[in-house]
Amino acid sequence: MDLLKEIDENAILPRDLSQLKHGVLVTISLSTLDEKIAKIFEPNAPKPKERLETLQKVEEQGFYAGVAYIPVLPFISDSNEQIDEMIKIAKEFGADYVFVGALTLYGIGKEWYCKVIEAFSRIVIAIYTAL
- The residue range of the domain holding 32 is 2-104
7 is a domain residue: yes
Q: Give the 3-state DSSP-derived string for 34-102, with helices as H, strands as E and coil as C.
A: CHHHHHHHCCCCCCHHHHHHHHHHHHHCCCEEEEEEEEECCCCCCCHHHHHHHHHHHHHCCCCEEEEEE
62 is a domain residue: yes
125 compared with 75, residue with greater pLDDT: 75
pLDDT digit string, tens, across residues 1-17: 888 888 888 888 787 77
124 is a domain residue: no
128 is a domain residue: no
Residue 28's region, left for phi above 0, alpha for psi from -120 to 50, else beta, is beta
Mean pLDDT (whole number) for 58-77? 89
Quick one: pLDDT at residue 23?
A: 74
Q: Tell me, yes or no, if the pTM score tops 0.95.
A: no
92 is a domain residue: yes
Q: What is the CATH number of the domain that holds 75?
A: 3.30.750
pLDDT digit string, tens, across residues 6-50: 888 888 878 777 777 777 889 999 999 999 889 888 889 999 999
Give the count of domains, the chain.
Answer: 1
